[in-house]
Amino acid sequence: MASIKYGLEDQVVLITGGSQGLGKQFAKKYYNESVRSKVVIVSRGVEKLRNAIQEVTDGEVSPRPLTKTDIWSGKDRIAYVPCDLSDYSSVSQLFEILKANDIVPTQFLACAGGSTPKLFKDLTGEQLEAGVKMNYFTALFLSHKVAQLYPYSHLILFSSETAFFPFIGYAQYAPSKEGIKALVSILRQELSHTRVSCVYPGNFESEGFALEELEKPAITKKIEGPSEPISCEECCNRIVRRLSQGYDDITVDLVGWFLMSTDMGLNKHDNYSFLWFLQLILGTLSNLFIVPIFMLMCRYDINKWHRNQKNPFQRK
């Protein structure tokens, strides 16, 4: 794995999903805690991107888009590019814009994504498709262009704690996040000059989380119980701290750290996280003695929930 040191200063960072949530929080951190770093935020909505820059800079910078013709001097240190990151041709155009502006990113943060926590049968076809596009294609297409054009950079992908423990209510979300986890393992084997990090956040307070709570099934909330949301700012700070310490597999709370442990067990696969050696031992013991009991408890709760549901297919 590439030994690229992480830092906030003297960087050119591209942040996808940078108009809200954790992406916007990272933009604030880079902009406010560095002097020379330049930030490019990317998402689909132009108005949200413009508002994000106003918020990040406290209104001191007039938001401007990067284009192929209007070359960015970098004086304002922050700019935006509207892009549908789930469309490969749009991502290709994004990188053409970077090239036209002579921008060579040193860090890429793939923060774009979102969840619609519902029972699988209640999801619409559009929501299922959006889950794959938002949570996997956005990371996949960005990673592909980075591999082709910027191999000497730091690629930071964002998965989820549900990649370690997928459960009821997250059918639209968790499979794509597991896909990112697998992609990271492969990229680390193929991209010898690129530092590839993966973050596995739990619940944190954001616009998206507030909307999720409105439609999240009760059984999902019950199983998810121990994972209390932390602030978006604290989530960002914890990620930066671990990246700065040299770790590349990052959780932001104790629940996530423990779930990663159970995922490692006797099948550790190119993992470098905080106290990874303890996770290896704990994961092995947990899978033998703790996880089976916990899964029985989850199965009991799910079966009880099913018994309390009305069967829409039952004959009257």
Choose, from 38, 48, 177, 181, the residue flagged as catalytic: 177
Annotation marks residue 31 as catalytic: no
Annotation marks residue 177 as catalytic: yes
Annotation marks residue 159 as catalytic: yes
Using a 10 angstrom Cβ sphere, with 0-12 exposed, 13-18 middle and 19 or more buried, the burial of residue 3 is exposed
Choose, from 159, 160, 206, 273, the residue flagged as catalytic: 159
**Torsion angle, CA of 30/52/104/94, rounded to 10 degrees?**
160
Choose, from 6, 80, 136, 173, the residue flagged as catalytic: 173
Catalytic site positions: 159, 173, 177
